Structure formats: structure tokens, C-alpha cells
Amino acid sequence: MKILVTGGAGYLGSVMVPRLLDAGHEVAVLDNFMYNQTPLLDICHNPKLTIVRGDARDKKIVEKLVKESDALFPLACLTGAPLCAKDPIAAQTILVDAIKMAVDFSSKSQPVIFPTTNSGYGVGEKGKFCTEETPLRPISVYGRLKCDAEKIVLDSGHGITLRLATAFGASPRMRLDLLVNDFVYRAVYDRFVILFEAHFKRNFIHTRDVAKAFIHSLNNFEKMKNEPYNVGLSDANLSKKELCEEIKKQIPDFYFVEAAVGEDPDKRDYIVSNDKIEKTGFKPDMSLSSGIRELVKTYQILKRNQYANV
């Protein structure tokens, strides 16, 4: 198939695109390269890859690329609550308006597989798993806009939405601002972290398993279409304190303590069931412990030291 991946040079896209190429697909990437990184250089030799530098909100470019594609993975996004809160107008145009435009240009024969977020669950009930039937109660601009976009995709009649857990792991377009990635970095270089509201729970998923979930959804589109699916590690519904305990198993001198005062501005707190997608045959490959091990090696290469003296 020929697959259009908007935001294909991003944190998830730069892991996903090589796997799509390895599976024999042609891939067209639309990205504005806003972070001035070079994540796709090592696959530019592949004749099945097309790269278009442009904006996912550009009607002329998007219409042409959608018409030339067999399937659409709209990944382009201002990702995360802080970034969307900083520029809510841009967030609306990229997370919702651009998705609607791309879906409107597509036909019923073109699968649309869209990554939303389990952030939409907001604050869950203690001890109760959030399933795809759980009411969505987003508590951030980011969560609300992702929920709005999910409805557009599902209402189209030819879409699947993947409610992704908090992603972790190495990527050619690396992010250090994700919870696991951030805590492992602190454990490697600072050797300590101070936790605010350490009991808040979250679910997690590796970048490679996000890519695997997209390919699985494409390969099983007819039986999965028009439904949302939680995508996470079923054995990794962990609090921040429990996450630190997992990191300490591999970095023994990592010290963490809960602050007696202060609070986390991110109020998400929930546990998630991934049974629905697992029943379709999807199983993640990367455990949390293997992802932590990978990140420890990653941070021997990558160091955030541009403003440091040492």
C-alpha cells in the first residue's frame, strides 16, 4: 500500500516509517520539521520513501497527498498538555481542523488510523480500569482536542483510533519530556528525583509497540474499523513511585523521595485495560524493563548539556 504519514518525522513517526518500509509499503511523509532535527536521514536512500516538507494544515498539499494514498496515518500534532496550553489556537488547527480536512479529502476505501490518547480518561476511579466504554473526561486542552479529533475519525465510517498510553523509548526524533524518558534521564545523570503526588497512576507503551499497533490495525482493518482501542502495557499501570522503583532495579544508586508540599500540575490519574486490542491478536514486544535498559544506553549517547558547564 501507499501510506501517507503526516508528522512522520516526529517521535512516533520516525520509528513507524522505517517499519512500514520494511513491511513493503510505500510511504509519503508530510512534516514541517519544526524541531530542526534530522530523524529520517538514514532511510532517505529507500526508493519507496517520499518526503514532503510542508504543513499538515495546507489544503493544497494535503488534498494531493491524500488522493495519491491508499491509507492515512495522521500523526501531525502539537503533542502534550503544556504545548497545547501554550498555543491553543495552533493546537485546534493542527489537532482537529487538519484532521477533519484530511478525513474529508479521503474516501471510504482509505483506512484512517489515528493516534489519540488515554489522557482523555482524565481522573479515573480508584481501583477501576478504564475501558473503551469509560466516559471521556479530559482535563487539558490537549486531551479535549484529541477526543474531538477521535470523534471525527470514527464518524467517518472508515477509521480506527488508538488511545495510546504514555509512550517511552528511544526514537530518532527523541523526546526527553515524557515521564519514563525523563525519569530515566534523571536517574542516569542526576541520580535523584523529587516526586509530586507520587501515587498518581499512568499506563505506558514503547514507541516500537505503537508502530506495531498501527501495522496490526492496518492488517486487521475490516474487523477492527470504526472502534477505539486502548494501547498500552497491561502489566505497566504504575504510579510514579512504582516507576521509580522499576528504574532503581537497573540503576541501584538512584534516589527518589516524595515532596511533603507541592503538587503536580498534570492531574491525570487512571489505570487502563488493554483487553480489547489484545483480543484482536495484538501483543506488545517491549517490556518496561527492556525500555529502561534501552534508555540507559541511549543516554550514553544523548546528553542535554547545551546550557551546562559540565
- Tell me the CATH number for domain 2-168+204-231: 3.40.50.720
> What pLDDT tens digit does each residue of the chain (310 aa) get?
999 999 999 999 999 999 999 999 999 999 999 988 899 999 999 999 999 999 999 999 999 999 999 999 999 999 888 899 999 999 999 999 999 999 999 999 999 999 998 888 887 778 889 999 999 988 889 999 999 999 999 999 999 999 999 999 999 999 999 999 999 999 999 999 999 989 999 999 999 999 999 999 999 999 999 999 999 999 999 999 999 999 999 999 999 999 988 777 677 788 999 999 999 999 999 999 999 999 999 999 998 876 666 6
Contacts of 216 (CB under 8 A, 6+ apart): 277, 280, 281, 282
pLDDT (0 to 100) of residue 267: 73
For the segment(s) 179-202+235-273+285-301, the CATH number from 3.90.550.10, 3.40.50.720, 3.30.310.80, 3.90.25.10 is 3.90.25.10
Residue 184 C-alpha cell reads as: 530515566
pLDDT score of 258: 94
The partner residues of 29 in beta bridges, in order of sequence, read: 5, 51
pLDDT at 248: 98
What is the residue extent of each domain of the chain?
2-168+204-231, 179-202+235-273+285-301
The one-letter code for the residue type at 94 is I
Cell of 124: 479515573
Strand partners, 245: none
Which residue bears the cell 475519525?
A: 153
HSE of 244, CA atoms in CB hemisphere, 13 A: 20
Q: Could you tell me the pTM of the whole model?
A: 0.95
pLDDT of residue 283: 98
Q: How far apart are CA 172 and CA 54, in angstroms?
A: 20
